[in-house]
Structure 1
Amino acid sequence: MRRPRFEARHLFDLLAGVLTLTAAMSATIPFPLAAGAAAKGKIVLAWHAGLASRWLDPQEHDGTATPDNFLTAIHDALIKNQGTALYNHPALAEHFTVAADSKSATFTLRKGIRFHNGEPVTPQDVKFSYENYRGAKADVFKRKTERVEIVDDRTIRFLFKEPFLDFAILFGTANVAGAGWVVPEKYYKQVGADAFKQKPIGAGPYRLVRHEPGVKIELEAFDGYYRPVNVKQLVMISVPEAATRVAMLERGEADIIYFVPGELINKVGKLP
């Protein structure tokens, strides 16, 4: 049975502040649901490439836009670019301040935030995620950071060796670095980096339901997220053949397809 397709112009209304497809892709920045509204529906995204497992681990962010489509669904950061906020939109942190001399930055976590396994998100998880980070710009963060202090059970402070004027931009811009994204320290250490990529646990709006490495990722709205989530299920599948992706769109088997070659654009444009 053909499922009603979500048209591109409606995407802003579909995803509730949770999944950012960057400017290099299609922007799907959402609006929150009314209080008490339940997530519903399903969106299937057909990709033109294999789904790399490394994209599911923010600790190894490669500094490109593609991983953000997955990281912003499963994981969350202290601050991030979202909507019209380029890098300083409050996320896991309800607010933050940067010292006048730019030699420290202090973040306060939201109350009651949890990972998908039910464990609370703590300053220790933030500290671990930052100090263990080994992706893009990791050398910059390590070179400029003197230490990370846990102030109390909701507050963490980053102290720098010198004025770090662009810290918030690097820390909060998802397609530049992943140092601001928080993973659960206990689980990450327990399973190791390789296993984490296969079965990641995050604090984002969607939790992993099924993962076929390179082929398919099934996600479901996390009811413990601090913001309402609109769409209940997200399914991302690898479909290398362009003609097959277009056919899936025609049949209603996919709601969004990526990378349509020139010779097929007119065909897609004529779809209802």
Structure 2
Amino acid sequence: MGAIRGTLQLRPRPRRSRYSFLKIVCCWLLAVFCFFGFFHRANAQTPENILIVGQIAEPKSMDPHAATALNDFRILMNMYDGLVRYKPGTLEIEPALAKAWTISKDGKHYTFTLRQGVKFHDGTEFTAEAVKFNFERMLNDTHPYHKTGPFPLAFFFSVVESVIVKGRYSVEFVLKEPFAPFLSNLAYPTGLIVSPAAVKKHGKAFGRQPVGTGAFQFAEWQGNQKVVITRNTAYWDSAPTLEAVIFRPITDANTRVAEMLAGGIDLMVEVPPDNLAMFEKAKDVTLYQQTGPHVWFLILNMKHGPFKDKRMRQAVNYAINKQALVNNVLQGTAVIAAGPTPPVFTWAYNESLQPYPYDPEKARKLIKAVGYQGEKLTFYVTEGGSGMLEPVAMGTAIQADLAKVGLKVVIESYEWNTFLGKVNPGLGEKADMAEMAWMINDPDTLPYLALRTAAWPDKGGFNSGYYTNPEVDALLKAARKTTDQAQRGQLYRKVQAIVHDDAPWAFIAHWQQNAVAHHSVKGFQLQPSFFLLLKDVQKQR
């Protein structure tokens, strides 16, 4: 009966939406089914040796250089390889398409020895020329295939000055300056290697006709229905056991739960908090949970509107009852955030920072001091997306908290890809605040891509709220050049303290990721990177 109890603990709101009502009914029915022993999957509905995964949204692109969302990355990591990769279960780097590498003493030259005999899914050979093509395509705006972008996360490799082919299976990256996160960024999806021949053949349509070297190869994409990838029998790191994987976009969380119960899917990512207790008790499924490098926050518009004033931004942080959100809406599946860096990065996390306390009276005083006159504040909320943590319920609860301190917040909700299309180009004069979540691979990633002045949207970054602080810019630049981890950590801790005070975001929570799989699924594990790695997964009846 945990699903009923969890739902009823939600705090009262001025108006309960139709979405919330339907959610309560659905959760109640699921709890009743579980209680009376009707939790029985129709195993015959899923084919033998084909894994069906319930995704949270329709993917946007299968081009790893163009993709930005975890939802897409979960598919891409199974179709492509990078020069290096994260060791399973860690964020440590290990060889992939490069079997070895050396780093010069000055930290500016990385030379990779490539594996020989590796083929792209189209039959063309993986060579040093292919590596050069991939990175020049992203970074060189005069490259003949640069227009097949845009490449929003090319920021990851902006420090690359040149890529030099040293031999058929040897390639050197020359950096403009030492860059500590370089290998980690190469393991990120933006560093995955695509087939040059396929890009030349399909041009801008490559994102719908992807070709990599990975354990699975692209077979089919039916919009809003499924993406199918099939076993690469010639995979250099041994062929996977699964014949195929089908990724089904099921945006509504309750529908994903119902599909899991009915046997329509074998593996479900991002289990709604209301259903965790039910899946924990179920006999024929396994619930997986793991803390990872995740941040859920509200972007506040510092270019237009009242949030240009720091006091107003701090007021929002004081006004939101984050403990209630974590306890009631997320039901203990997250911890309160004190700043932009997840505590999983112990060497860089600023433990001296405390989350903004829930203090509505202080929020009211700050709002009054600013001179807010009841202007409408537009709040972008998504219906679902990568790591967004019950976004509709979170959004309406936050709206209610802000109403208590006198802020007139109006929600505009959108499906995930439409939402990204509104937020990523910058809030501008369209909105005052927006939900956002990031899963990151290094303490550098999120602040560099979303808090630097040079990362404003019109400059190609994700600083959608237009935050700027020259001291933060300088600290981030210094941290990227420092290869000593202790020194890097000290610099990142300073960044966190400044950003905490400037409050360009409302810092909400760090999520404990989860997934649920039927017992027939063997060899699955969650990754700290939040990616899905399915090569070693088996399906046994």
When normalised by structure 1's length, the TM-score is 0.76
> Does the C-alpha gap of structure 1 residues 269 and 88 become closer, same or farther in structure 2, counting only changes over 3 Å?
closer
2:55–2:248 CA contact under 8 A, matched in 1? yes
Alignment of 1:56-205 (within 5 A): 56-62=62-68, 64-84=69-89, 86-133=91-138, 135-139=151-155, 141-142=157-158, 144-174=159-189, 178=190, 180-193=191-204, 195-205=205-215
| Secondary structure in 2 matching 1:58 | coil
1:47–1:236 CA contact under 8 A, matched in 2? yes
How far apart, CA to CA, are the structure 2 residues paired with 1:221 and 1:43?
A: 11
2:164–2:171 CA contact under 8 A, matched in 1? yes
How far apart, CA to CA, are the structure 1 residues paired with 2:77 and 2:201?
A: 23
Q: Does 1:42 align with 2:42?
A: no
| Secondary structure in 2 matching 1:73 | coil
> Does the C-alpha gap of structure 1 residues 259 and 5 become closer, same or farther in structure 2, counting only changes over 3 Å?
farther
Give the one of 233, 237, 253 matched to 1:227: 237
How far apart, CA to CA, are the structure 2 residues paired with 1:257 and 1:156?
A: 39
| Secondary structure in 2 matching 1:190 | helix
How far apart, CA to CA, are the structure 2 residues paired with 1:231 and 1:100?
A: 44
| Secondary structure in 1 matching 2:197 | helix
Give the one of 231, 249, 252 matched to 1:241: 252
The AA in structure 1 aligned to 2:57 is A
| Secondary structure in 2 matching 1:237 | strand
| Secondary structure in 2 matching 1:231 | coil
How far apart, CA to CA, are the structure 1 residues paired with 2:123 and 2:161?
A: 32
| Secondary structure in 2 matching 1:127 | helix
1:198–1:213 CA contact under 8 A, matched in 2? no
- Count, aligned residues: 230
Deviations 1:138-197 (A, max 9, x none): 24523x2221110111010111222233321222244xxx1x21111122022112x111
How far apart, CA to CA, are the structure 2 residues paired with 1:101 and 1:233?
A: 45
How far apart, CA to CA, are the structure 2 residues paired with 1:85 and 1:236?
A: 24
| Secondary structure in 1 matching 2:184 | helix
2:110–2:173 CA contact under 8 A, matched in 1? yes
> Does the C-alpha gap of structure 1 residues 157 and 253 become closer, same or farther in structure 2, counting only changes over 3 Å?
same
2:156–2:185 CA contact under 8 A, matched in 1? no
> Does the C-alpha gap of structure 1 residues 247 and 76 become closer, same or farther in structure 2, counting only changes over 3 Å?
same
How big is the shift at 1:66?
A: 3.2
The AA in structure 2 aligned to 1:221 is R
2:57–2:71 CA contact under 8 A, matched in 1? no
How big is the shift at 1:239?
A: 1.7
Give the one of 249, 263, 275 matched to 1:264: 275
Which deviates the most, 239-248 or 131-140?
131-140
The AA in structure 2 aligned to 1:251 is A
How far apart, CA to CA, are the structure 2 residues paired with 1:137 and 1:47?
A: 22
When normalised by structure 2's length, the TM-score is 0.40
1:106–1:157 CA contact under 8 A, matched in 2? yes
Runs of 4+ in 1 over 4 A off after TM superposition: none
The AA in structure 2 aligned to 1:3 is N
How far apart, CA to CA, are the structure 2 residues paired with 1:96 and 1:5?
A: 47
1:57–1:196 CA contact under 8 A, matched in 2? yes
Structure possessing the higher radius of gyration over alpha carbons: 2
Give the one of 254, 265, 268 matched to 1:254: 265
How far apart, CA to CA, are the structure 2 residues paired with 1:234 and 1:257?
A: 13
Give the one of 203, 210, 214 matched to 2:220: 210
Higher RCO, 1 vs 2 (CA within 8 Å, ≥6 residues apart) = 1
How big is the shift at 1:266?
A: 3.4
How far apart, CA to CA, are the structure 2 residues paired with 1:118 and 1:140?
A: 29
How far apart, CA to CA, are the structure 1 residues paired with 2:274 and 2:178?
A: 51
| Secondary structure in 2 matching 1:135 | coil
> Does the C-alpha gap of structure 1 residues 156 and 4 become closer, same or farther in structure 2, counting only changes over 3 Å?
farther
CA RMSD of aligned residues (A): 2.4
Which deviates the most, 69-78 or 236-245?
236-245
How far apart, CA to CA, are the structure 1 residues paired with 2:212 and 2:183?
A: 22
The AA in structure 2 aligned to 1:102 is G
> Does the C-alpha gap of structure 1 residues 66 and 264 become closer, same or farther in structure 2, counting only changes over 3 Å?
same
1:79–1:87 CA contact under 8 A, matched in 2? no
Q: Which runs of 5+ in 1 are unaligned?
A: 7-39
How far apart, CA to CA, are the structure 2 residues paired with 1:261 and 1:181?
A: 31
